[in-house]
Every structure is written in structure tokens, then in C-alpha cells.
């Protein structure tokens, strides 16, 4: 659905985006993460056609965004970070204006506005001036505007920025609902938001993609090993694990139970092997779980390593 190939963007002597290549499948939700100034917004603006790359190629739905900008933009709904709105207009007037710019009139417009008003939940404020609306409702109006032409792709740049906790939850639920029928690229500084909403995470730093994959895949990349906690009543299991090539980085005894923290450089899930060893040696496992690291830790580790 979205294909970037060796995309470069410069502003004077500053290389904002440096050879970015990315493929987003139809129906996929991609969380786009990076420090301030990493190149996220610039990349998203090139996808929308707002900025033209200095090198490389951007395609949306197989259409070259630079060569055929109008055709590509018909497939894209864009909610920029600052969400520019005409505050003197009502949401209805604003959506009508957006529809007219896309040559949507008459019965087609009536069908589209009914659909987006229902999806975004702005029916109660449709006739109020936008300047009187809360930030949460303004974001919903911005999303409705991005959806008015029924695009295949949604580009959302910091859609929950500046919202209070209840508004954040509401907008996240709306994005989750929209993602069932749209391809979405979502830029955010909130790691839990990216993890909750995204099928794939892309981390960009200094204009380059430093990692991409599902949240679990990035955890493995950042950690480089799996850590598993094992609890049993049998101390001998420690020697069994060591003899079979596992590393014990920590062990402790609490009451009559032993906890072993086990690692392996293997890329495979080691829990099944540990279970099989226990069964073979007639050791009862009371508990076993995989230690996880947060997406924040993954992000900091990967961006820090890239900066060194």
C-alpha cells in the first residue's frame, strides 16, 4: 500500500531524511517513533505529497506521489500535528469545504458526511463554531476531515498531543476502530499508544530507520537474549540447566522454593526446552515466565546505540 525507496530530504546542509526505505502492507497499522528532529514528520509529509523528496521514490497504492500527486492524495487522509482548523466555521461547514475541494457534492457529500460524523462522534457539535470546541472534539473534527473522501490510507501525526487522559483514551479507541478498514501510519511520543495500536513499530533516528518490526521482535533485537524466570522446589534443577547450556544470571531461595533466572543467546523461545528438561528429569515447575522489557526501554536502547 505504501512504498518508500531510498527517500532523502535535505533542508540546506541538514539531511532530515537519509535514505529511508519502508513498506506498509494494506490494512497494517504502523507506529512511527523517533526523538524530536529524527525525521518522522518530514517523512510523513513526503508520503502525503506536502513535501517533495530530493531523492528516492514514494508510492501510495502503486501511484508515484511526485509524478501523480492528485491521484495519490485521493488515497490519503492526513491529520497533521497542529491540526489547522477554521475556528469561525462549524464542523459541518468545515467538512463541506473539505469535500468541495475534493469535488464531492450533492448526494455523495450527504452520504460521506453522515458516515464520518457517525464514525467520529461529532454529531452533538456539528453546528457549533469550532473555536468553542474542546481539544478532543477538535481532533475528532480533524479526523472527520481526513476521512471525508473515504481514503485508503490515514497519516496521523501526534493525534493525541495535548489531550487530557480521557480524551486520549477516546481518540485511541476511535483510531483503533478506523484501523479495521484503513492502512494507518501513526506518529506518537507515547510508547504505550504505539504498542497498543500498532501491528508494526518503525523507529527512526537522525533521518534513518534504525529498527522495524512487531513490538516483540523489537524487544528481541534490543535485548539480544531471552530471559526466563523458573520457580521450582528442587535445587538440583540449577545444575541440570547449566549442564544443558543455559546461563543462570541469578538464583534465590524463598522459603522452600528456588527461583532461577535463565538466559540463552538462542533466538528461539527457550521455555519449551526448559519444560522438556524438567519433565525428563521429573522436576516439577511451579512457575515459569518470560521477562519483558518496555517499549520505552527498547526505544531508548536503539536510539542511544545509533547515536554513539
pLDDT of residue 306: 53
**Dihedral angle sign, alpha carbons of residues 288, 294, 297, 300:** positive
pLDDT tens string 40-63: 999 999 999 999 999 999 999 999
307: pLDDT strictly greater than 60 = no
Phi, psi of 192, rounded to the nearest 5 degrees: -60, -35
The single residue listed with the C-alpha cell 513499530 is 201
pTM above 0.85, yes or no: no
Longest dimension (CA), the chain: 78
Q: Average pLDDT in the 255-260 region?
A: 94
Decide which of 40 and 303 is more confident: 40
The domains found in the chain, sorted by start residue, are 2-215 (3.40.50.300), 221-295 (3.30.70.120)
293: pLDDT strictly greater than 90 = no
Helix, strand, coil % (nearest 5) of the chain?
40, 30, 30
Concatenating the DSSP letter of every residue in 118-185 gives: HHHT-GGGTTS-GGGS-HHHHHHHHHHHHHTT--SEEEEESTTTT--HHHHHHHHHHHHHHTTTSEEE
305: pLDDT strictly greater than 60 = no
Query: For the chain, how many helices (H) and strands (E)?
Result: 11, 14
Mean model confidence pLDDT for the chain: 90
The C-alpha atoms of residue 271 and residue 208 are separated, in whole angstroms, by: 35
Lowest-confidence range among 97-106, 143-152, 182-191?
Answer: 182-191
Percent of the chain past pLDDT 70, that is, above it, reads 94
Amino acid at each position: 500500500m505504501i512504498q518508500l525507496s531510498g527517500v532523502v530530504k535535505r533542508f540546506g546542509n541538514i539531511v532530515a531524511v537519509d535514505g529511508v526505505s519502508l513498506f506498509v502492507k494494506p490494512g497494517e497499522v504502523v507506529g512511527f517513533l523517533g526523538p524530536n528532529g529524527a525525521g518522522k514528520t518530514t517523512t510523513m509529509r513526503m508520503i502525503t505529497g506536502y513535501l517533495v523528496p530530493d531523492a528516492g521514490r514514494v508510492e501510495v497504492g502503486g501511484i508515484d506521489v511526485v509524478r501523480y500527486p492528485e491521484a495519490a492524495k485521493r488515497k490519503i487522509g492526513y491529520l497533521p500535528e497542529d491540526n489547522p482548523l477554521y475556528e469561525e466555521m462549524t464542523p459541518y461547514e468545515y467538512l463541506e469545504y473539505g469535500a468541495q475541494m475534493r469535488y464531492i457534492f450533492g448526494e455523495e457529500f450527504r452520504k460521506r458526511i453522515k458516515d464520518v460524523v457517525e464514525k467520529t462522534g461529532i454529531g452533538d457539535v456539528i453546528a457549533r463554531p469550532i473555536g468553542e470546541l474542546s481539544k478532543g472534539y477538535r481532533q475528532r473534527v480533524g479526523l472527520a476531515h481526513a476521512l471525508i473522501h473515504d481514503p485508503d490510507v490515514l497519516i496521523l501525526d501526534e493525534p493525541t498531543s495535548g489531550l487530557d487522559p480521557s480524551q486520549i483514551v477516546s481518540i485511541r479507541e476511535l483510531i483503533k476502530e478506523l484501523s479495521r478498514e484503513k492502512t494507518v501510519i501513526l506518529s506518537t511520543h507515547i510508547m504505550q499508544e504505539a504498542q497498543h495500536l500498532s501491528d508494526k513499530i518503525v523507529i527512526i533516528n537522525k533521518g534513518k530507520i534504525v529498527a522495524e518490526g512487531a513490538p516483540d521482535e523489537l524487544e528481541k533485537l534490543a535485548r539480544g537474549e531471552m530471559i526466563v524466570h523458573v520457580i521450582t522446589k528442587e535445587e538440583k534443577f540449577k545444575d541440570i540447566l547449566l549442564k544443558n547450556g543455559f546461563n543462570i544470571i541469578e538464583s534465590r531461595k524463598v522459603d522452600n522454593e528456588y527461583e532461577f533466572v535463565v538466559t540463552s543467546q538462542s533466538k528461539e523461545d527457550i521455555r519449551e526446552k526448559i519444560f522438556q528438561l524438567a519433565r525428563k528429569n521429573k522436576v516439577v515447575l511451579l512457575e515459569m515466565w518470560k521477562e519483558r522489557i518496555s517499549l520505552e526501554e527498547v526505544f531508548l536502547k536503539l536510539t542511544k546505540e545509533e547515536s554513539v
